[in-house]
Structure 1
Amino acid sequence: MANYESVTRSNYFHVKDEDAFSKFMDTVSGDDMHCWSDKDEDGNTLHAFGCDGSIYGVPNGAEDNDFDLFLSELQKHIAPEDAVILMQSGHEKLRYVTGFATVITSGGIETISIDELAISKAREMLKNIEYSPKMDY
């Protein structure tokens, strides 16, 4: 039996409050979490994070980690003019490769799947809306 292996990484983005964001990130649970910072062209601090695996979420008060709560709490920290693009890809041996991107702004959260994007593009290119490939083995 194979194990799912993944990596997760965000883009660099601006936050509203550096200290509040840092405290929030201290509550995030994931496999070997890392945080980075950089500067934009105006010298403002940019933040990014990722992990060698999956982000499990933040505590929800019931001793569990909640990924949806992580996203909604992260949303509160993002500067209004910026977005977090959180990308995860993974595989289980060569049975399948999958991934998704979650785009988080101060006004919304949307997740897109690379599987769905690829199938949609293939249907468009083939001019066959019923095209449905087998994607795993």
Structure 2
Amino acid sequence: MVRRNDRAASAGCPCGLPVEYGACCGRFHAGAGSAPTAEALMRSRYCAFVRGDAGYLLRTWHPRTRPERLDLDPGMRWTGLEILGTAEGTAFHTTGTVEFRASYRGGALHERSRFERVAGAWVYVDGEFPEGSG
């Protein structure tokens, strides 16, 4: 996975928000609270892929659909995240959907992810690849 360098750190969080990693997704990775919305969890999970943090990805995966283990490809180079749309997923909801495009060197992943709250915290349930997203 891509490792952050000092220039990337000053440019903002890998999730695309103009906030330093430590004040953005890094605080969730460090266990200082949980993502307040489905979109914030989606962004923090993207950052976990960028940073190779399989532990965080597993912790934020719904127990019903979570794999036993997660082997990340160390050669994968994530290059950007674009949120295409959200439905529900706020403090007032128990479910939410986030559609996104995550770019990597050589292509992009387009997914519509489903999230639920478990014990008050947002977790990733599963995703589908919209038709024509190749």
TM over 0.5, shorter chain: no
TM-score by length of 2: 0.33
TM-score by length of 1: 0.32
From the two aligned structures, give the one with the greater strand fraction: 1
